[in-house]
Amino acid sequence: MLSMAAVAAQTTFKEPPVTNEAWTKPFPGFRVVGNVYYVGTDDLASYLITTDQGHMLINTGVGSSVPMIRASVESLGFRFGDIKLLLATHGHWDHVGGMAAIKRLTGARMLMHEADVPVLEDGGNSDFRFFPKGRGTVYEPVKVDRRLKDGDTVRLGATELTAHHHPGHTRGATSFTFTVRDGGRDYRVGIINMNGINEGVLLLKSPGYPRIVEEYAQTFARQKQIALDVFLSSHAGQFGLHDKYKAGAPYDPNRFVDPKGFRAAVERAEKNYLDQLQKERQGQPSR
């Protein structure tokens, strides 16, 4: 395997400067529950799901965080090269910026909901927010090897994830649910893409995504149907990582059990959506 520096040298891609410090601030890797580990940064969540057939990695943060993710994986006693499957909750650069590099480093396959395949493969240029002009490439494009649809399952070893299409934030935003056994108990784990609205996005006037207003509403309704124990998400702040994690505390599989927090987070996002929708209908500026 090539050194990180050699791999970095294989690409000429330069990502935009990161202005949010929490995106790239290191955070210790730790075990969440069973075979699920947090290997992300202070704010951008990445999850390693280990199996005896290799590992899955969900989300990468920005491109420059790849060495940090690798260090986290190795600090937990796993081999970075054993990552076999790459998945993501949506195709924005703060979650998939490192996919191309990690794919090169590990030879893993990239899986993505079919509606976010175009953005992954053009590095974010076809992001609906910049239609029709295009955004320009903001992360290194990555070729998708398997296109997921709602309800598809992804299996590796004894772990089987179900992909839930939860569009709105992007066309192909996806949540993953699966069951983890730990200490004789089953935990229903949800890595949920919270349905926030990026600044400047209009629900009633997005020519690049005409069905956005309906799709957001459908996603809230569907997320309320999900029964989970362990609540995880794309950003640390969305599932309360910094409140729930205790540095140096012994492993506790119940630490991230929070069905009520999940429900409340969905309701908060829905309220923001309804508030914005009302303002747009009244013709006020959205923010």
Count of residues that interact with Zn ion, criterion CB under 5 A: 1
Whichever of 179 and 206 has its CB closer to Zn ion, that residue is 206
What is the C-alpha to C-alpha distance for residues 37 and 54, in angstroms, rounded to an integer? Answer: 14
235 contributes a contact to Zn ion by CB under 5 A: no
Q: Which is nearer to Zn ion, 131 or 251 (CB)?
A: 131
Q: Does 92 bind Zn ion (CB under 5 A)?
A: yes
| 3 state DSSP class of 254 | coil
Shortest approach of Zn ion to residue 81 CB, angstroms?
28
Q: In terms of CB distance, is 45 or 101 closer to Zn ion?
A: 45
Least distance (Å) from Zn ion to the CB of residue 261? 20
Q: Which DSSP string do the residues of 122-185 spell out, in sequence order?
A: TTTTT-GGGTTT-----S-----SEEE-TT-EEEETTEEEEEEE--SSSTT-EEEEEEEEETTE
- How far apart are the C-alpha atoms of 279 and 108, rounded to whole Å? 45
The residue (of 92 and 165) whose beta carbon lies closer to Zn ion is: 92
Yes or no: say if 262 and 192 are a contact pair by the CB < 8 Å rule: yes
Residue 238 Cβ, how far from Zn ion at the closest point, in Å?
A: 11
**Residues for the chain: how many in total?**
287
Residue with the two structure tokens 């005409």: 210
Does position 165 interact with Zn ion (CB under 5 A)? The reply is no
Q: Which residue is nearest to Zn ion (CB)?
A: 92
| Closer CB to Zn ion, 23 or 262, in the complex | 23
**CA neighbor of 219 nearest in space, from 160, 153, 171, 154:** 171
- In the complex, what is the shortest distance from the CB of residue 169 to Zn ion, in angstroms, rounded to a whole number? 6
Structure tokens at 197: 């609205």
Minimal distance in Å, beta carbon 235 to Zn ion? 8
Shortest reach from residue 201's CB to Zn ion, in Å: 10
Q: Catalog residues that contact Zn ion under the rule CB under 5 A.
A: 92
